[in-house]
Structure formats: structure tokens, C-alpha cells
Amino acid sequence: GRRNHKGKNRGCVLTEIHLNVTDLDLGYETKEELIFRYCSGSCDAAETTYDKILKNLTRKKKIVNDKVRQACCRPTAFDDDLSFLDDNLVYHILKKHSAKRCGCV
């Protein structure tokens, strides 16, 4: 995939964890397991001029709006769907449940 721009925001990375499907707390009763991948890390270094301006304006209280946010470490692509059989042996499909690539967006 696309590398983080020139080593910047190295903080935002894909991490994986082996879980039971029930750990997801989505209401399924099953003994199946999955590999869950998520994005974590800092996006402080991911600054564009836009981000710098926002930061400066917020600091100077030129803008006071909660909804203005700095870049976040988020999935830019999701893993393939995942199927599993629940305890009643009914198939379920999870979509967009796990990250495939991460980025500061």
C-alpha cells in the first residue's frame, strides 16, 4: 500500500488482535474466532498547512467550534467480509468490520 508520506506520521499503524467473535459485542452467540485489525497511533506529524492553520486558529480562539478536528488515524480501506456460523448454525456475514490500511485523514 501507500507509505505514510516520507516517514511522517509513522505513529498511525495497523495493529492486529486475535479475538472471539463474541468479544466484538455485536450480539452474536458463536464460538468462532477472528483476526481483528485496527488503526492506532498519533497523527500529530501528519500536518498539512490546513491542519497547522486550524491548530493556530483554535489556539488563538479565532475559531471556537468543537466540530473542527485534527487528522485522525482511521482505516482508509477495510478487510474482506467475514462469515461465521453462530451457535444455532446460522451463517452471518460481517462487512467493513476490520481495517486493511490506515491513514491520517
Partner 1 sequence: AADTTNPCLKATHVCNLSKKCVRLRTDYASICTKGAGSDDMCDHRKCHRALRHFFEKVPEDFTKRILFCPCQDELCGERRRKTIVPDCSFQYNTKPNCLWLLDSCLEDHICKSRLADFQQNCQPTDMSPDGCSQHNHAACLQAYMGMIGTPMTPNYVSNFSVEVSLWCTCESSGNQKEKCDQILSMFESNKCL
Per CB under 8 A, the list member of 14, 34, 99, 102 interacting with partner 1 is 34
- Coil, strand or helix at 53: helix
Question: Which own/partner pairs from 51-58 qualify as long-range (CB within 8 Å, at least 24 positions apart)?
Answer: none
Q: Is 16 in the site for partner 1 (CB under 8 A)?
A: no
Residue 24 binds to partner 1 (criterion: CB under 8 A): no
CA 98/CA 37 separation, integer angstroms: 5
Neighbouring CB atoms inside 10 A of 79's CB total 20
Tell me: does residue 29 bind partner 1 (CB under 8 A): no
Q: Does 91 bind partner 1 (CB under 8 A)?
A: yes
Residues binding partner 1 (CB under 8 A):
18, 20, 31-35, 80-85, 89, 91, 93
